[in-house]
Amino acid sequence: MFIDGSWVEAASGKRFPVTNPATGEHLGDMPDGDAGDADLAIAAAHRAFPGWSATTAYERSAVLYRAWQLMTERSVELAELMTREQGKPLKASTFEVKYGADFLLWFAEEAKRVEGHWLPSARPDQRFLSIRQPVGVVAAVTPWNYPISMLTRKMGPALAAGCTMVLKPAEATPLCAKAIFEIFVDAGIPDGVINMVTALDPVPIGDTFTSDSRVKKLTFTGSTAVGRKLAGAAASNLQRVSVELGGHAPFIVYPDADPVHAAKGAAALKFLNSGQACISPNRLYVPNELLDAFTETLIARVQKVKAGNGFAEGVGVGPLVNEAAVAKVENQVIDARAKGAEVPVGGGRLTDGEFADGHFFAPTVVTGVTTDMVISHEETFGPVAPVIAYDDPAEVIELANNTNYGLAAYVYTRDISTAFRAFEALRFGIIGINDVNPTSAAAPFGGMGDSGLGREGGHEGIDEYLETKLGGFAL
């Protein structure tokens, strides 16, 4: 763990193993921290806050810029580590490292764009000045599916704003977090500004984060169920909260769309990170008149997707994170089949040969999906593409919005009017219009409803870590 500028063991002396989800290989051990360790980390961040918040925006920017340089220089090693620890194909890991580094570069610049305002007063002898200042100590909890970019997407704006941090990384991917912390240490981050507590059981750490009055903000990326618990606990302590949670993204193909182009986009997006992405499309709505062309193309593309170890040539789908993830995906497919769906591609676990020691599920297409099937209303988080046929374009927005989630949605159409109407009507925070990658460090990322609160990235990203202060000056 990293507390107050030093690499330390847990106070208990306990450690837990980290393994490769593709092979079961033991990669190393990390300290198994508890509430006491979290308390020490919060205390260090609390002590460091006055000094770090008093630095100039240019000084904070320089640290972030140096971290970006180091991250770029170490991109190959970071990508290889991610593939070993998280399992995604090396090409995807390489892309994520660059994406993660982009947040450091973006917020190195945003640090210098935190501005105040002079405000008018009705009194001639009064002036108002509004400024923005860092909220204080930030507690961050990050996920395993994007173990590097989800760190930098939080660390970049928090540090740029002048906050100090305590991080609890996912127990499945702590080695990636350690590597990012090593970069910040080498970039010259002062002692106590960033701290990391690793633990096999996240509950005591989360309880400490949400009950300590020294923590002024909680930021979390993960499941909706856990996010609700953390946000509820943080609310009792009046902590500021931003949470990026689950999704159940619709992928709408309109009758005027090119079904082949849309199917290629769906295949590329659905199997990204083995479907383990909160913005992954979970419901592919296709009009009956385009169903055959769309499905034929989708099946042909998915049949070519190779599952396996992320280091193997040509692999497009790696392992799922653990056995529970495989079981969830398997149960959804079994339920769909039992209720009349067809599975023309995949549909089961991969357990033979190279798959024997990992957590693999075959790239899968499910057709004939209906609303009574579990897969139609629960997030899958796996490599399964469910196709839902529809007749009336006027009703497809209603079908898409029929969920408590509101993170991402996708629309394929060649009509600009249809595109704008869908963009305005869909109740989701991110809409891809003929675009399967509507994300960037420069763009706000976040959802509505059960998909979260707040935004990360873009100009809005740093606002989550700033308080507004008003000064009234009598002359």
Q: Say if residue 171 is exposed, middle or buried (CB neighbours under 10 Å; 0-12, 13-18, 19+).
A: middle
Strands 249-253 and 281-287, bridge-based pairing: parallel
Dihedral (Cα; 386, 310, 1, 61), 10-degree rounding: -80
Write the CB contacts of 207 (distance below 8 Å, at least 6 apart in sequence).
35, 233
Q: Tell me the one-letter amino acid at 61.
A: S
Write the CB contacts of 7 (distance below 8 Å, at least 6 apart in sequence).
1
How is residue 464 written in tokens?
């989550």
How is residue 308 written in tokens?
């396996």
Which among 244, 379, 456, 464 is annotated as catalytic? 244
Other C-beta atoms closer than 10 Å to the C-beta of 128 total 14
Which among 85, 110, 278, 379 is annotated as catalytic? 278
What's the CA gap between 380 and 282, in Å, rounded?
A: 7
H and E: helices and strands count for the chain: 14, 26
What's the CA gap between 103 and 376, in Å, rounded?
A: 34
Instruction: Give the CA angle between residues 459, 461, 466 to the nearest 5°.
Output: 100
Write the CB contacts of 74 (distance below 8 Å, at least 6 apart in sequence).
179, 183
How is residue 336 written in tokens?
């769909």
Q: Give catalytic status of residue 115 as yes or no.
A: no
What's the CA gap between 3 and 1, in Å, rounded?
A: 6
What's the CA gap between 365 and 307, in Å, rounded?
A: 14
What's the CA gap between 363 and 307, in Å, rounded?
A: 7
How is residue 122 written in tokens?
């009705």
Q: Which own/partner contact pairs does 344-353 have at CB distance under 8 Å and 24+ positions apart?
A: 344/295, 344/299, 345/299, 345/302, 345/303, 346/302, 346/383, 346/384, 350/307
Instruction: Give the CA angle between residues 191, 78, 32 to the nearest 5°.
Output: 55
Q: Give catalytic status of residue 278 as yes or no.
A: yes
Report, as residue numbers or ranges, the catalytic residues.
244, 278
